[in-house]
Amino acid sequence: MKSQTIFLRLGATAISVLVLAGCASSGKDPSADWPADKLYSEARSEISAANYEKAVPLLERLEGRAAGSVLAQQAQLEKAYAQYRDGERAQAIATLDRFMMLHPTSPAMDYALYLKGIINFNDNLGLFAWLSRRDLSERDQKAAKESFESFKQLVERFPDSKYAPDAHQRMVYIVNSLAAYEVHVARYYYSRGAYVAAINRAQLALQDYKDAPALPEALEILERSYDALGMTELRDDTRRIMAASFPEGQSPQASAGSRSSWWRFWD
């Protein structure tokens, strides 16, 4: 009798589980039947509330529902922004690349380029973290260069875009920051007595980043490294370049000291 009672209880429990599972599986997404305008409105509300993870699936459904329309293009761009703000930067870049491939003549192309530049720009701020800590290992500069390329395309293709002025400022910042980074590494090598390595990094900064604020220090490191290696002719040539480039007492240290005014602009 006891075993029969246990069996009946187990049977009832199993039936309950099956019923609950059936209810769950038959649950319907309430947004499945929403019209396109409601999907967009709800997605925008989620974005405004910083619920980016909830906004993405709504925008994906909208993109499919409004395929071939301007609203579908808008959904793609909104989705990329939501992904970016949700910390899914790789997915956001992929969404933008898809948008640019599918809609090369879209009137929103300037925004797509700008957003892609912003995503890589912010993703790369860690590259310049050496300014506030003593970690001297080299960092990946790919994001910075990709950010620069997106801004460059925007400025060249859409010079009258409302995003162009900010993009241009960020391009200047990226160039200056990359130059400062190379000089920082050159300074590190010089301080360790690795003069050939210091020369190589200083020369790289001078060759690749024209007119950046960090270049006076690059010349100084170059001159001191040549002197330390006994390469007097190259040392003297560098001194002449420094004198011609920074006449009347404008010292490399003074120019280098002004760096904080630009690298903290978007800090």
Residue percentage of the chain with pLDDT more than 90:
58
Measured N-to-C along each axis, helices 70-85 and 52-65 cross at an angle, to the nearest 10 degrees, of 160
- pLDDT score of 27: 58
CB under 8 Å, gap of 24 or more: what pairs does 137-140 form? Answer: 138/185, 139/181
Instruction: State which fold the 113-125+136-267 domain adopts.
Output: 1.25.40
Q: Between vectors from CA 122 to CA 56 and to CA 185, what angle results, nearest 5°?
A: 150
Does the structure show a pLDDT above 90 at 77? yes
| pLDDT tens per residue across span 79-138 | 999 999 999 999 999 999 999 999 999 999 999 999 999 999 886 554 444 444 433 334
Q: What is the pTM of this model?
A: 0.72
pLDDT digits (tens, 9 = 90+) for 164-204: 999 999 999 999 988 988 999 999 999 999 999 999 999 99
Residue 76 has pLDDT above 80, yes or no: yes
Beta strands in 107-249 (DSSP E): none
Name which residue leads in pLDDT, 238 or 135.
Answer: 238
Residue type, 25: S
Other beta carbons less than 10 A from residue 7's beta carbon: 10
Mean pLDDT of 246-264: 47
